Amino acid sequence: MVDNNNIVIADSLATYLRRGTYNTHNIMTSKLIDDGLAILDHLASRVSASALTGLGCGAAYATYKGFPIPKTSLSASLSCALVSTACFSMERLAFGVITRVTEQLNNEDNSESSAIQLTTPPNVVYASHALGGCFGGGIAGFLFQGHPFAGAFLLTPLMLCAGKMELKLEEYKAERLRQLVVKDDNE
């Protein structure tokens, strides 16, 4: 006995595969998902680090002032996580805009050059972190104290320091990878 539903499904699948449109759609969807997961991973690592820093600083502050340690440290940790979420979300948004604009400008300037950049230029990293500090600090300053400029002035230098640390980490990773490749070549 032949099931008509299976025949219709198999026929539709064969037609879909013959058209060849699945390749472009799947690749674009896969790239969007990969990019989204990379951004989420980037944010999660920075927010987790700042939350842990806030936890330690809150515990130290509670010990110094004689406040309840769990309540104070959790409050400081949550505050640090919220501030870093605002700043690093704005940084990722600014990074995306800056890289898209520079790609467009580079494509207009020299359409023949198709060199792929493996590392991010430092000025893009600093610019995105500065904008993230300004906008994210403004959001945090407005939410916590009602003064957006105070938050922006406080958090922009901290975000620039975070950008410097990211560049140093990227340099360390590249150097370590080069050492491992040279070690493999020698063996």
pLDDT at position 108: 75
d(CA 162, CA 165): 5
d(CA 161, CA 86): 16
Cα dihedral: 121, 126, 127, 132 (round 10): 130
Q: Which 3 state secondary structure label does DSSP give 70? A: helix
Q: What is the pLDDT of residues 74-130, one digit of tens each?
A: 999 999 999 999 999 999 999 999 998 988 888 876 655 555 556 788 999 999 999
pLDDT tens digits for range 127-175:
999 999 999 999 999 999 999 999 999 999 999 999 999 999 999 999 9
pLDDT of residue 52: 96
For range 11-35, the mean pLDDT: 62
Of 98, 86, 95, 182, the residue nearest 143 (C-alpha): 86
Model confidence, pTM: 0.75
According to the model, what pLDDT value does residue 49 have?
A: 93
